[in-house]
Amino acid sequence: MHYSPAFSFTAWPAPDHDMSNPTPATPYGTLPAASPLPARKPVSLPRLAELRERGEKITMLTAYDATFAAVADAAGVECILVGDSLGMVCQGLASTAGVTLETMAYHVESVARGLRRVQGTAWLLGDLPFGSYHESKEQAMRSAAQLVHAGAHMIKLEGGDWTADTVRFLVERGIPVCAHLGLTPQTVHALGGYRVQGRDDQAALTLKRHALELQDAGATMLVLEMVPAALAAEITQQLPRCHTIGIGAGKGTAGQVLVMHDMLGINLGKNPKFVRNFMDGASSVREAMANFVSAVKSGQFPDDSLHAW
Ligand code: KIV
C-alpha cells in the first residue's frame, strides 16, 4: 500500500521541470537543475507538530552527502539526519566516538548544499559529535553554531539529565534541539555494547525521568534507540511537546529513523534486528526510501513482532 502524503512532494525532477536549461552532464553524477518550487512546504517545527497532532508518523533517514540527501527529500522523507553514524558507514571507524566536529560540519554542509540545489524541503538535523558538547554549555553553543553555519536546522546530542542545562542554553539562543536516549552510541563502551536499554524497572524509571527533563529543557525531538516498545510508547504519551523518533523502539513513537546504509541493505556488518532492508523489491534507492516513508506512515514498519523488544 502506498501512502499518499498530506504534504505532497513533486516527482524529481518535477514534471514541469525546465529541461531547456538542464545542468550539463558530468562524469561524476549530477544533481538536477533547480526545479520550480516543490509542492511540499518546507518542513519546520510547526509542520512536525501538525503531523504529530493528526497522528501521522514522522519519517527520518540519515544522509551524509548532497545526492543521497536530495534523493531522500524527493522520496518524501521529512527529516534528514547527518548522524555521526557517518564515522562508521563513511569513515570505517569502529564506533562513532572518533568523529570530529570538523567532519560533521563538512557533511552537514554537503547535505545542505544538495538540498538547496534541488530546492529540498526536508528538516535538517546535524549531530554534535563526542567531545564537542561535554565540557560546558558554552562549548556546546560554539559547536552547535558550526553546524548551524553549515546549514543544520536542528542539532542532536546524546545523553540524559546531564545534558538538560545545555539543551536549555541552546534552545534559549534559538537552536532547536533533538535529544537522544536509550542506546547512545557515543558511549557504547560505557554501556557495555550495543544492548537494549531501559529493560528493568529502575532503568525504565530513569529513562522516563530523563525524557521529561529534556522536554522541560526545551528539546522538541527525542531519538529513542533500542528501548523496549512499551516503554518508548509510554514516554511518547508523556511528551506532548517533544516528538519521539524511534530506532529499535517499536511502533509507538511519533516517528521513525533508520541509518540509510542499513535500510538500503549495504551495511558491511550484520544488520540489527530493528532494520528492514527496503531495497528488497525496490528498483531504485528513491523507491526504497519512498517505501520506507509509506511503511512508516501506514504503520507497517516497524513490526513489533520482528523489529522491537
Ligand atoms: O548517528 C546516527 O545516525 C544516529 C541515528 C542512529 C539516530 O544517531
122, 78 Cβ separation under 8 angstroms: yes
Task: Confirm whether 235 is domain-assigned.
Answer: yes
Task: Confirm whether 40 is domain-assigned.
Answer: no
Task: Confirm whether 258 is domain-assigned.
Answer: yes
* pLDDT reported for residue 4: 43
**258-279 CB burial, b ≥16 within 10 A, e <16:** bbbbbbbeebeeeebebbbebb
Q: In whole angstroms, give the CA distance from residue 37 to residue 14.
A: 9
Percent of the residues in the chain that have a pLDDT greater than 70, as a whole number:
89
Task: Confirm whether 12 is domain-assigned.
Answer: no
194: domain CATH number? Answer: 3.20.20.60
Q: What are phi and psi of 120, to 5 degrees?
A: -65, 160
CB of 259 shorter than 6 A to ligand 1: yes
Does the pLDDT value for residue 93 go beyond 90?
yes
CB of 175 shorter than 6 A to ligand 1: no
Cα dihedral 266/177/221/301 (nearest 10): -10
Cα(233) to ligand 1 centroid in Å equals 20
Q: Mean pLDDT over all residues of the chain?
A: 91
Q: Is 225 a known active-site residue?
A: yes
Ligand 1 pocket: which of 223, 224, 275 to mutate (most atoms within 8 A of CB)? 223
Ligand 1 pocket: which of 85, 156, 224, 245 to mutate (most atoms within 8 A of CB)? 85
Q: Please list, in sequence order, all residues whose beta carbon lies within 8 angstroms of the beta carbon of residue 290, skipping any fewer than 6 positions away.
A: 2, 75, 76
Q: Whose CA is nearest to atom 6 of ligand 1?
A: 259
Residue 216 binned pLDDT confidence (cut-offs 50, 70, 90): very high
Q: Does the model's pTM come out above 0.85?
A: yes
* pLDDT reported for residue 32: 63
Does the pLDDT value for residue 8 go beyond 50?
no
Which pLDDT tens digit goes with each residue over 254-307? Answer: 999 999 999 999 998 888 999 999 999 999 999 999 999 999 999 999 999 999
Q: In whole angstroms, give the CA distance from residue 200 to residue 167.
A: 27
* pLDDT reported for residue 210: 98
Does the pLDDT value for residue 252 go beyond 60?
yes
Does the pLDDT value for residue 213 go beyond 80?
yes
CB of 104 shorter than 6 A to ligand 1: no
Does the pLDDT value for residue 197 go beyond 50?
yes
* pLDDT reported for residue 6: 41
Which pLDDT tens digit goes with each residue over 12-56? Answer: 443 333 434 445 566 777 766 555 555 789 999 999 999 999 999
Does the pLDDT value for residue 154 go beyond 50?
yes
* pLDDT reported for residue 28: 77
Beta bridge partners of 124: 80
Measured between alpha carbons, how far apart are the two ends of the chain, in Å? 26
Beta bridge partners of 60: 79, 257
Task: Confirm whether 29 is domain-assigned.
Answer: no
Q: In whole angstroms, give the CA distance from residue 56 to residue 54.
A: 6
Task: Confirm whether 1 is domain-assigned.
Answer: no
* pLDDT reported for residue 18: 40
Domain count of the chain? 1
Q: Is 304 exposed, middle or buried (0-12, 13-18, 19+ CB in 10 A)?
A: middle
* pLDDT reported for residue 260: 98
Q: In whole angstroms, give the CA distance from residue 248 to residue 243.
A: 16
Which pLDDT tens digit goes with each residue over 109-132? Answer: 999 999 999 999 999 999 999 999
Task: Confirm whether 195 is domain-assigned.
Answer: yes
Sign of the alpha-carbon torsion through 145, 117, 85, 167 = positive
Q: In whole angstroms, give the CA distance from residue 78 to residue 209.
A: 28
Q: What does DSSP assign to residue 1?
A: -
CB of 223 shorter than 6 A to ligand 1: yes
Q: In whole angstroms, give the CA distance from residue 181 to residue 239.
A: 14
Locate the ligand 1 atom nearest the alpha carbon of residue 245 and give its number.
Answer: 7
Task: Confirm whether 171 is domain-assigned.
Answer: yes
Which pLDDT tens digit goes with each residue over 46-89? Answer: 999 999 999 999 999 999 999 999 999 999 999 999 999 999 99
278, 263 Cβ separation under 8 angstroms: yes
The residue with greater pLDDT, 26 or 90, is 90
User: Range of 88's domain?
Assistant: 45-307
Query: Which of 277, 265, 268, 279 has its CA nearest to residue 307?
Result: 277
